[in-house]
Amino acid sequence: MHAHAAPLALPAVRFARVVRHFGAVRAVDGVDLSIAPGEFFAMLGPSGSGKTTCLRLIAGFEQPDDGHIEIFGETVEGLPPYRRAVNTVFQDYALFPHLSVGENVAYGLRVRGVGRAERERLAREALSLVKLAGMETRRPAQLSGGQRQRVALARALVVRPKVLLLDEPLGALDLKLREEMQSELKGLQRALGLTFVFVTHDQSEALSMADRVAVFNEGRIVQVGPPEEVYEQPATRFVARFVGSANVLEAREAQALGGPARPCSLRPEKILLLAPGAPVPEGAAVVDARVTDISYQGPVRRISARTGQGLALTAAVPATAAGVMAGADIRFAVPAGAVRAMEGEQ
């Protein structure tokens, strides 16, 4: 760490024009990134977008071909994973099958030369932190998926990393467990005040857990910001479609719906379905369309419709709304301000 740098100003992780290619594929193609200490940071993107490679670059499993990476001000290019103060919770958990749960958790302490009694005590502490007290003697194979993940978490936390990396942490869990772990991870991160960086392809996971979300596409970050901002103000067509499948409108279409004359996004849940003869809300644009498809999704119904001008729109309306049939003529209202310009598009 540089002695002259002010500790508070140091980002936990900083990428400057980082490039990593595999053969001809530019997996990471000039990524700039700054993650603040104590931040819960999500890297969101489809598979092959470079998010996992970025995580591996932080962990040290990959080395950048170009650019610069710092962890708390320390340059880490060329440093092997075992010399970095970051730890990883792997997607497949990577628990050592030949060791007990307790030995798994104590592994990092063991290779650091911590004495047996001390490391057993710390391992017990870490296991109770993830609510697995008393499981020390079990084998990983005897645990459920959710328990294995907690062990992986305890094993990474026990060596007190400065940054915790999580690779698709909830990917292998079922829905109920996933929701439980979401709030638990968030609580743990807050309680420990640690920097968490996690990779996911699930936008709802990123939005619900992260302080900030970086959306990846084709090896680049296309937008970074708090979840609300990324969701409400997608910067590009890709973000609009990938995060919450928004309607993407060309300049002319946006203008017709009361928006600015440039490419815009329109969230399906902002669109109102007007009952026949109902009054038009003040300032809203009205558009007539014919229903092409309906899908029921529990709390909402997604209505796909096409206007006379050929514009395809998807609206998410409360499922309680009166039954609309495919082929029916309906009227949508688009409230003022719902059509948002995409800053990253011309």
Q: How far is the CB of 117 from another protein (least distance, A)?
A: 19
Of the residues 87, 149, 223, 265, which one makes contact with another protein according to CB under 8 A:
87
Tell me: does residue 98 bind another protein (CB under 8 A).
Answer: yes
By beta-carbon proximity to another protein, the closer residue of 160 and 290 is 160
Q: How far is the CB of 152 from another protein (least distance, A)?
A: 8
Q: How far is the CB of 198 from another protein (least distance, A)?
A: 15
Question: Do 300 and 254 contact (CB within 8 A), yes or no?
Answer: no
Tell me: does residue 78 bind another protein (CB under 8 A).
Answer: no
Distance CA 177, CA 150 (A): 12
Of the residues 80, 145, 281, 318, which one makes contact with another protein according to CB under 8 A:
80
By beta-carbon proximity to another protein, the closer residue of 61 and 336 is 61
**Subset of residues 46 to 75 that bind another protein, contact rule: CB under 8 A:** 59-61
Of the residues 94, 129, 274, 300, which one makes contact with another protein according to CB under 8 A:
94
Tell me: does residue 90 bind another protein (CB under 8 A).
Answer: yes
Tell me: does residue 116 bind another protein (CB under 8 A).
Answer: no
Tell me: does residue 147 bind another protein (CB under 8 A).
Answer: no
Tell me: does residue 96 bind another protein (CB under 8 A).
Answer: yes
Distance CA 51, CA 165 (A): 12
By beta-carbon proximity to another protein, the closer residue of 159 and 266 is 159
Structure tokens at 268: 């399906």
Of the residues 68, 110, 162, 241, which one makes contact with another protein according to CB under 8 A:
110
Q: How far is the CB of 79 from another protein (least distance, A)?
A: 11
Distance CA 67, CA 322 (A): 56
DSSP collapsed to 3 states, 21-75: EECCEEEEEEEEEEECCCCEEEEECCCCCCHHHHHHHHHCCCCCCEEEEEECCEE
Structure tokens at 186: 């968030």
| Angle in degrees, CA 157, 161, 163, rounded to 5 | 110
By beta-carbon proximity to another protein, the closer residue of 90 and 204 is 90
Tell me: does residue 22 bind another protein (CB under 8 A).
Answer: no
AA letter at 84: R
Distance CA 257, CA 221 (A): 30
Of the residues 1, 5, 25, 111, which one makes contact with another protein according to CB under 8 A:
111
Token look-up 């900083």 returns 14
Distance CA 274, CA 218 (A): 40
SS3 320: coil
By beta-carbon proximity to another protein, the closer residue of 19 and 94 is 94
Tell me: does residue 139 bind another protein (CB under 8 A).
Answer: no
By beta-carbon proximity to another protein, the closer residue of 97 and 298 is 97
Give residues with Cβ within 8 angstroms of 216, minimum separation 6: 43, 44, 45, 49, 50, 51, 54, 222
Give residues with Cβ within 8 angstroms of 33, minimum separation 6: 13, 14, 15, 18, 54, 214, 221, 224
Q: How far is the CB of 280 from another protein (least distance, A)?
A: 57
By beta-carbon proximity to another protein, the closer residue of 90 and 121 is 90
Size of the site for another protein (CB under 8 A): 25
By beta-carbon proximity to another protein, the closer residue of 56 and 124 is 56
Return the H-helix or E-strand segment holding 124: helix 116-129
Give residues with Cβ within 8 angstroms of 147, minimum separation 6: 132, 135
Tell me: does residue 97 bind another protein (CB under 8 A).
Answer: yes
Sites of contact with another protein (CB under 8 A): 59-61, 80-82, 86-88, 90-92, 94-98, 107-108, 110-112, 155-156, 159
